[in-house]
Amino acid sequence: MKRRNFIKTTAASGIALSGIAGAFGAAASESVTSNEAQFKLKYAPSLGNFPEHAGKDPIDQIKFIADQGFRAVFDNGLMNKPPELQEKISSELARLGMDLGPFVLYADFNTRSFVLQDPDIQEMLKKKMQDALEVQKRTGVKTALVVPGRYDEKLHWDYQTAHVIENMRMCCDIVGKTGLELVMEPLNAHTDHPGLFLTDMPQAKMICVAVNHPSCKIVDDMYHQQITEGNIIPNIDMCWDYIGAFHIGDNPGRKEPTTGEINYKNIFKHIYNKGYNGVLCCEHGKSKPGKEGEIAFIRAYREVDSFEK
């Protein structure tokens, strides 16, 4: 039996990577090979997740990611890549039938921005939105991530909320004509990002309802939300109509699923059964260095994707 066909067969039985380890012994601890069994959900590694196996070229990364059965990628830094590289990435994803997750459009953790009604800030945001539309033209990306920035200790919270709503509506009016969605990301203030305005899912939903625009959505980063509020599945249900993307990361440590306290297998089963067809970005580190860490990354997703439909 050819090695590629063997791998495909073992993958179909849900033991692809353990099958590789059993069949090829020590060699499996150093490298992986193509695996044609696609994941049930569109988990999206970043274009920098597998340098040991695929090198640093984004196109080679995409090919390797597709070979492992992933159906999407994401690149937070897509907006800063040269236009010609953006187009090459888009072409390769289209060739392989893969999706592209949200890129970071605006995320200044040090500035009071959306919470203010400031003409200079609004002009900056308008410019950012126009830049995002250029990226969309080149890549066909469907979602762009925004962080509303820091809160203002001198301004009443409700005024800040009103300003965020007004600024988000302005931004959505600019990008909405093309169908681009802006996904706001609530971030935890306890471990990673103290001082930011947007921190939890109910707050994000309230803003979406108030903005009342089809382009105003939420990216549910389950690592951040486990720290901030937990209750992940009920919050998914409460915010379902406004979730445009997910971010993945276990807690504590922000590494791949199965390394922390979050029961991702149950969460992914719930998301799958709700009919989700969007991207879930693997926005986390690896628990081990080198090739071993890259293999552990893939094995973790095989494990949490092994839920019964």
Could you read off the pLDDT of 10-19 as tens digits, one per residue? 344 343 444 4
Question: Which CATH code for domain 38-304?
Answer: 3.20.20.150
H/E segment holding residue 243 = strand 243-247
What percent of the chain stands above pLDDT 90? 88
d(CA 186, CA 176): 21
H/E segment holding residue 244 = strand 243-247
Q: Tell me if residue 47 falls in helix, strand or coil.
A: coil
Lowest mean pLDDT among 14-23, 59-68, 116-125, 277-286: 14-23
Contact between 72 and 97 under an 8 Å Cβ cutoff? The reply is no
pTM comes to 0.89
pLDDT digits (tens, 9 = 90+) for 50-60: 999 999 999 99
What values do phi and psi take at 220, rounded to 5?
Answer: -90, 100
**For 73, left (φ over 0), alpha (ψ -120 to 50), or beta?**
beta
Per-residue pLDDT at 32 exceeds 70:
no
As annotated, the residues of the chain forming the CATH 3.20.20.150 domain(s) are: 38-304
Written as one string, the DSSP assignment of 52-120 is HHH-S-HHHHHHHHHHTT--EEB-TTGGGS-HHHHHHHHHHHHHHT-EE--EEEEE-TTSB-TTS--HH
Written as one string, the DSSP assignment of 142-192 is -EEEEE-BB--TTS-HHHHHHHHHHHHHHHHHHHGGGTPEEEE----TTTT
